[in-house]
Each structure stands twice: as C-alpha cells, then as structure tokens.
Amino acid sequence: MRLLPVSSASAALVLALLPTAALAAGGTGASSFTISDPRIKESSGLAASRIHPGVYWTHNDSDDGPYVYAVDSASGRTVARVTLTGIGKPRDVEAISLGPDGQLYVGDIGDNRDGTWDHVWIYRFPEPKELVDTTVKAAQFTVRYADGPRNAEALMVHPVTGRVYIASKNESKGGLYEGPEQLSASGTNVFRRVADVPWVTDGAFSPDGSRLALRGYFTARTYPWKDGRPEGEGERVSAPWQGQAESVTYAADGSALMFGSEGADSRVIAVPLSAAAPADSASPQPGAPAEAAPPPGPPGSFTKGALVLAAALALTLAAKRLFRRRGSAE
C-alpha cells in the first residue's frame, strides 16, 4: 500500500528518533535488521520461519509478481526467492502468515478503494525446506466477506487451530473476520465478522496462539486470545515510528515483536515483549482508530518527529479520499 512516500533522508531521520528500546531486542533471541535486497521495495508482510532459524518471509505490496522472499536476519540478505505458479496475477498482496501445517499463507487482500473488489484471494504453499530460489505450485482460495467487500492488510493463521483470520482496515472501525474451519479451493470461502478492531495494517498470533498482535501506523497492541476472539482492550506495545508501518510478526521464539515497513533498505525492528505496557484509561476501545500518542522515549526531538509523521499521514489520507472521489466521478 503506497501511503507515505519516504525518502532515504526521511527514513534516516525516523530511525534517529526511535526510542532506544525499539532499536534492539536486548536479552532476546531476536534482533533488528535491514532488508538489503533492492528488489524488495515495498515489504508489506512478515512471517518468521519455523524451520530456518533467523529467517523471515516477506513480499512486495504490488506490481512485483508472484514472489515471496526469505530474508536472513543475521545479514539482511535474501537467501531464497519463491515463485508461485497455479494462481492468477496477484492484485494487491498485503500479508503473509505461517500455519501449523507448515504452509505459508499469502493474503492478496488489499483494496485501496475500500471495497471495489467483490472477492480477494489467499495463496498457500509449503514452506520450502531448502533455502534456494525455487518455483512452487500454490493453492488459490477465493474469499468473500459476509457483510460485503472491504479493504484489508492483515491476515493471521492461528498456530494451533489453523484457522485463518483477516482484519479489515478502516479509519473509524475495522473488523476481525474469521474464515471457515478449512479453506476450500473449489468454492468461495466466506469470512464472517467476529470482533471490532482498531485501524490495522498488519497482525500476527504469538507462537503458542495465546495472544494476537495488531499494529497500525502509530502504535500496536497485543490481546489475549480466548475462545476464538481477542479479549479486552489489550496491552500497548512500544511500537517504533516508521514511515510506512506495514508489517508485524512474532519472533519464532515469541520473545519479541518484529516491526517492518515499506521502502528501499527498510528496517525491521525487534521490540522485546517486555516493552508492552498495561492498557490505561486513555486507551481507545476496540474499533477505534489506532492512537497517536508517542511511545516512551526522550522528549523534544522525538516528539517533533512524531508530529511530522502525524501531519504527513493526515495529508496523505486527505489525498487518498480526494483520489477516491475523483475515481468514482470518472
């Protein structure tokens, strides 16, 4: 999703303003890294490998083709590119998740015009056992929402039940949608709304399935997962400020949340789970937009950086709404 074009200088400024706690996951098995592959310019989803320690799967947002990349967090280098066959042309790929069946699920679920597509797709293929460039045949699943089309950027597969969830993206009230118990490649898979969620750009389940993490442009929260639903208001996480905050996943050992963004040489930032803070009375209720209160950090320059990003986002959203109006008038 191309919302906030960020120059290299701007990206450097954002990193300089990040709180120290967000730059490294001290004492955990996860560490921050930079995606160095020039082909990955719009990293829009992250999934931690279970069979290749320290490797994260990602993909571009759109206009790239049916590709998924394996990135080694120790070096930031791409160690494999998977080309998907057996599917149509990807339209707006926004998310990736690893299921308990050892398969990667890719969500071609974006819709920047907020509901012009009457269906979207999920692609599924086994996580490769060897990290080499390869071509695989993927299964393709057609998805519709029970309450009509919507834009979405977050797809999460529960690591215990294998059930697939999608979180829609909406400025006022998004929804968490539950897929059928098993996806069908021969028919339409209807996803039904089961909860309200904040403004979400990505999400992930913890490795044991006990918590659901959801991130937006400014902050992130983790929710206890009980009886197939997120519970309560959750806990705020000191998410980093990133120009195009598009992805999140848990580290494979569950010790940290990994926050990614779009852009060339994008930074994936490890935030230890000890950075989570209890929800307070000022926190929004589920369904409210993600809050814009800055995470803990040094005063002054960080606050200014936060205000710059907030202003940029406001201008971008205004342009986005204008684009929609012009598009509908044509």
CB 309 within 8 A of CB 17: no
Predicted confidence (pLDDT) at residue 292 exceeds the cutoff of 80: no
Predicted confidence (pLDDT) at residue 208 exceeds the cutoff of 90: yes
The DSSP bridge pattern shows strands 235-237 and 220-226 to be antiparallel
pLDDT of residue 186: 93
pLDDT of residue 231: 96
CB 268 within 8 A of CB 35: yes
Predicted confidence (pLDDT) at residue 275 exceeds the cutoff of 70: no
Assign 29 a pLDDT band (cuts: 50, 70, 90): low
Assign 201 a pLDDT band (cuts: 50, 70, 90): very high
**Stretch (H or E) spanning 71:** strand 67-72
Over residues 202-224, the mean pLDDT reads 95
Rg (CA), the chain: 18
State pLDDT tens for residues 116-165: 889 999 999 999 999 999 999 999 999 999 999 999 999 999 999 999 99
Q: Of 94-103, 110-119, 236-245, which range is least confident?
A: 110-119
SS in 3 state form for 245-262? EEEEEECCCCCEEEEEEC
Task: Tell me how far apart the terminal alpha carbons of the chain are, to the nearest angstrom.
Answer: 22
pLDDT of residue 167: 97
Q: How far apart are CA 57 and CA 44, in angstroms?
A: 10
pLDDT of residue 104: 98
Predicted confidence (pLDDT) at residue 329 exceeds the cutoff of 80: no
Q: How far apart are CA 217 and CA 240, in angstroms?
A: 10
pLDDT of residue 116: 83
Assign 276 a pLDDT band (cuts: 50, 70, 90): very low
pLDDT of residue 170: 83
pLDDT of residue 250: 98
Over residues 180-201, the mean pLDDT reads 96
CB 287 within 8 A of CB 174: yes
Over residues 219-239, the mean pLDDT reads 94
Over residues 87-92, the mean pLDDT reads 93
pLDDT of residue 218: 86
Over residues 13-41, the mean pLDDT reads 63
Predicted confidence (pLDDT) at residue 24 exceeds the cutoff of 80: no
Q: How far apart are CA 193 and CA 149, in angstroms?
A: 12
Phi, psi at residue 307, to the nearest 5°?
Answer: -65, -40
Exposed/middle/buried for residue 311 (C-beta within 10 Å: 0-12, 13-18, 19+): exposed
pLDDT of residue 282: 35
Q: How far apart are CA 329 and CA 307, in angstroms?
A: 33
Assign 281 a pLDDT band (cuts: 50, 70, 90): very low
pLDDT of residue 321: 45
For 157, the 3-state DSSP assignment is strand
